[in-house]
Amino acid sequence: MRLPKLDLNLFVVFESIYEKRNLTRVAEALYITQPAVSNALARMRKAFDDPLFVSTPSGMVPTPLTENIIGRVREALQLLEASASEGDVFVPGTSRRTFRLSMPDLTEAVLLPLLGEVLQQQAPSMSIESYFTPRSEVSSALATRRIDFAIDVPLINDPQLRQASLGSDRYACMVRHDHPFRGDVLSIDDYLALGHIQVSSRRQGSGLVDAELRKLGKERRIQMRVQHYMVAPLVALRTDLALSAPMQLLQRHDARILELPFQLPRQEWHLYRHRSSEQDQASIWLGEKIIDILSGPAATLDVPKRKRRAGKAPA
């Protein structure tokens, strides 16, 4: 096969088939007809002398050859797109770019109000869309530009991605003001005697708090499991359940915040983007704004000072 004889647009169709595994969805995404998608696939098959994709009841399954070349095809498409945009002059005040971000609901609540304010003042025509992308799909989503940025814990290792630290936050325990536990300091026995709320998008499995308790040979009593961080404090404010979570969340509510009676690693967050966006001035600008917001004082929260009880020495 000689590349000059092959329409480069065919690789766009090829990559879309790999992502969506369905010719109808590819046609819808690329705003072309399904016969045009089928024709493009036929031309690619002839050029590579390989089926490339095999039709099955579960969708278009890639052949070994496709699996071998998809990474380089995606990288080439990203580089072409980045090269085309390098000559564009980025002016925040007139930019109409749409950026897609992936982040947990807690980070979304911290970032988007502040980012929205920045954009309103400096880039009023720019648009932001926020989605949640499972960690296992972040690399692929960034490579295919389904998302432009992802915010997650530093557990994603992909040489094609660039990452920047957004700082860290520590965990504490929240209970309502009139909670039956009246002490100022939680002992481990006090903590284990409470009913707890666990936040997890998974149907089962433990989180950071439970993993640390297991190291101590302890187990807390989880009485409610919720999917999202933003709903958990609302439950704690109306029940006797306790919530252990990052301070960025807890201090936003009028409640009692207590130190945990055991050591817990700080929660770290990183900003991820694909390396092909390194020369995109709009991406660079927005990435810097996100880092400034989430690393700045507006997003840095801490446990309030405890009030001492009269006549008692500090613990």
Q: Which residues contact 257 (CB under 8 A, 6 or more apart)?
A: 172, 173, 174, 247, 250, 251, 303, 304
Which pair of structure tokens corresponds to residue 102? Answer: 């992936």
All structural domains of the chain:
3-86 (1.10.10.10), 98-169+268-299 (3.40.190.10), 171-265 (3.40.190.10)
Write out the chain's pLDDT in tens, 315 residues: 445 467 888 998 999 999 899 999 999 888 889 999 999 999 999 999 999 999 999 899 999 999 999 988 887 887 776 666 555 578 999 988 899 999 988 889 889 999 999 999 999 999 999 988 888 889 888 887 889 999 998 888 888 899 999 988 899 999 999 999 999 999 999 999 999 999 987 776 668 899 999 999 999 999 999 988 889 999 999 999 999 999 988 988 999 999 999 999 888 899 999 988 888 889 999 999 999 998 875 554 333 333 333 333 333
- Residue 121 burial by Cβ neighbours in a 10 Å radius (0-12, 13-18, 19+): exposed
